Amino acid sequence: MTELGEKRGQMPIALVDEIGVAYGVKETNNVPHVNIEGVTVSADGELHVMQPGHISTVNSSSAALLADAVFTGVAEEITNIATILIAVYSNVGSAVDGLSVQWSIDGTNWDGSDVFTIPANTQKTFSFQPVAQYFRVVYTNGDVDQTAFRMQVILKHSYVKPSSHRINDGISTQDDAELVKAVLSGENGGGEFKNVKVTEDGNLAISNNSSGLAIAKGDVTGHSFIHKFGAAPDFDSSDGFVTVWDGAEDDEDYEAMNMTYSATADIDYAVAEDNGDTQDIEIQGLNSAYELTVQTITLTGQTPVVLTTPLIRVFRVKNMNSSDFAGHVFVYRARLGDGTPTVVTGGVPQTGADVRAVVHADNNQTEMAVFTIPAGKTGYMRSWYASTAGAKRDSSHTIKVLARPFGGVFQLKHKANIDVNGTSYIQHKYEEPEVFSEKTDIEIRMDTDTDIAGVAAGFDIVLVDN
């Protein structure tokens, strides 16, 4: 070990060992500090080690490039480098991905690169950590000659702060960035911190992710949305509470003031009232296992046609072609429980209790405030509504929202009233949705205090996979 500065009080004493590490002691008598191999000892006796870094001259350039010309730097070993800083400016834009920072393990084969497109008249700065033993910079100019080009590469032996932006600056896709993986936490209002979760799709699990729009767009995995709407076109006070569906129509052969629910998958036929109706219809319902089933069949007028899959529930039927229905369309069970055939006359089932869906010609779709939660799903009712529809001026109606758990009876979930002379429309939105388990039957019923009444109602349900 070598000693420098023999006399205390006249010069600082510093020692340099065999590998070039400097050791110093506090200076006295205001003698300036001494630099020893990049090391300083301050007047307070503090040891400072400097690692200044250096310019990569073989990968820097200020020579303007012609149109489409390429500057190719020289392979430079960076084994002992911690950070590579690049600043580049050109008065014209580069080619697409014109700045290429390349990496090699042997200085010959360039196996990877980071690429950026440089805009005109904008200095861009980038910082990189070394990923291989060698690196070089390749810059490809755009299709216009440069008049100004400045690119400088600085190699640092220690970590430096990455490039930064002002908060109000826009971020470009060509800016360099650090990949950060982190766990976000937040205080829950009670002094306890909770980790922020994400959905199965990787979205932050915030309330907006369960919005109707996100679900309808298919952005929320395992969620779907159904809007049910119905109308009871013609019923009387003596009918009591009727199901809000197309079958609640007085004096029709298919009249059924209350929908009949099948106990087995016996819903197996469709038929049209008009012989000219040969459109494709889509039938939405549940199979024998209460699984969601959608099928398309082609009507053959007044000749009944068998369904592809027999159903235990039907909750929607619609016209899939470009021509309107000329008459009613029915989905029904072809045989009674004792095996007796259902009577169909002129394309119209003659017993309302056998009918499971009715489409009125001018609608081309059912109006059924009726739904059954499919197997494997849970239903969350967000809202429901009810209104008068063609009712007499002095009519009043009571609304019941009913649900029947599988194997149980219909239970009242909400009750309200509307009046033509007062509130003829009501909508109820749940602060916390009403929850229904799989296979639960849901329907809205309404009664009236006058004859020849008409009402409409419906509800919105989010379905979530169990």
Reported as a single tens digit per residue, the pLDDT across 13-43 is: 444 444 444 444 444 445 444 444 455 666 6
pLDDT bin (cut points 50, 70, 90) of residue 49 is: low
Rounded Cα–Cα distance for residues 55 and 205 (Å) = 47
Rounded Cα–Cα distance for residues 245 and 258 (Å) = 8
Strands annotated E in 17-133 = 22-24, 35-36, 39-41, 47-49, 54-55, 70-72, 76-77, 83-90, 94-104, 110-116, 124-128
Interval 124-150 mean pLDDT: 95
185's tokens? 């936490």
In the predicted structure, residue 196 carries a pLDDT above the cut 60: yes
The 10s digit of each residue's pLDDT in 180-192 is: 778 888 887 778 8
Query: Which of 51, 11, 50, 3 has the alpha carbon at shortest distance from 33?
Result: 11
Query: Which of 373, 402, 372 has the alpha carbon at shortest distance from 386?
Result: 402
Interval 140-146 mean pLDDT: 97
310's tokens? 């027999």
- Percent of the chain scored above 70 by pLDDT? 84
The 10s digit of each residue's pLDDT in 67-79 is: 999 999 999 999 9
Tokens 């069970």 sit on residue: 333
In the predicted structure, residue 8 carries a pLDDT above the cut 50: no
197-258+368-466, which class in CATH? mainly beta
- Of 135-149, 248-262, 332-346, the poorest mean pLDDT is in 332-346
197-258+368-466 shares the fold of 54-156: yes
- Residue 156: enclosing H or E segment and its boundaries? strand 149-156
CB 277 within 8 A of CB 299: yes
More confident residue, 183 or 3: 183
In the predicted structure, residue 167 carries a pLDDT above the cut 70: no
pLDDT of residue 38: 53
Task: Give the contacts of 165 (CB within 8 A, at least 6 positions apart).
Answer: 171, 175
pLDDT bin (cut points 50, 70, 90) of residue 86 is: very high
Three-class DSSP category at 398: strand
More confident residue, 179 or 148: 148
Tell me whether residue 368 is exposed, middle or buried, using C-beta atoms within 10 angstroms of its C-beta: 0 to 12, 13 to 18, 19 or more.
buried
In the predicted structure, residue 393 carries a pLDDT above the cut 70: no
- Of 103-117, 206-220, 341-355, 410-424, the poorest mean pLDDT is in 206-220
Buried b (16+ CB within 10 A) or exposed e, 219-255: ebeebbbbebbbbbbbbeeebebbbbbbbbbeebebb
pLDDT bin (cut points 50, 70, 90) of residue 44 is: low
Dihedral angle of Cα 154, 160, 162, 166, to the nearest 10 degrees: -110
In the predicted structure, residue 2 carries a pLDDT above the cut 60: no
Query: Which of 112, 158, 119, 157 has the alpha carbon at shortest distance from 138?
Result: 112
211's tokens? 């919005």
Distances (CA, A) of 386 to 244, 372, 389, 450: 10, 19, 9, 17
pLDDT of residue 210: 57
In the predicted structure, residue 10 carries a pLDDT above the cut 60: no
pLDDT bin (cut points 50, 70, 90) of residue 270 is: very high
51's tokens? 């690692």
In the predicted structure, residue 5 carries a pLDDT above the cut 70: no
Rounded Cα–Cα distance for residues 402 and 439 (Å) = 14
Interval 367-372 mean pLDDT: 98
Beta bridge partners of 114: 101
More confident residue, 463 or 25: 463
- The dihedral sign for the CA sequence 256, 261, 267, 270: positive
Tell me whether residue 51 is exposed, middle or buried, using C-beta atoms within 10 angstroms of its C-beta: 0 to 12, 13 to 18, 19 or more.
exposed
Longest dimension (CA), the chain: 125
Task: Give the contacts of 100 (CB within 8 A, at least 6 positions apart).
Answer: 113, 114, 115, 137, 138, 139, 140
CATH (one of 3.40.50.300, 2.60.120.380, 3.40.1780.10, 1.10.10.10) for 54-156: 2.60.120.380
In the predicted structure, residue 88 carries a pLDDT above the cut 60: yes
What does the domain layout of the chain look like in residue ranges? Answer: 2-49, 54-156, 197-258+368-466, 260-359
Taking the whole predicted model, whether its pTM rises above 0.75 is answered as no
CB 26 within 8 A of CB 9: no
Rounded Cα–Cα distance for residues 361 and 65 (Å) = 74
- Residue 384: enclosing H or E segment and its boundaries? strand 377-388
pLDDT of residue 20: 41
Reduce the secondary structure of 157-190 to three states and give it as a string: CCCCCCCCCCCCCCCCCCCCCCCCCCCCEEECCC
Three-class DSSP category at 215: helix
Q: What amino acid occupies position 348?
A: V
Mean pLDDT of the chain: 86
In the predicted structure, residue 177 carries a pLDDT above the cut 90: no
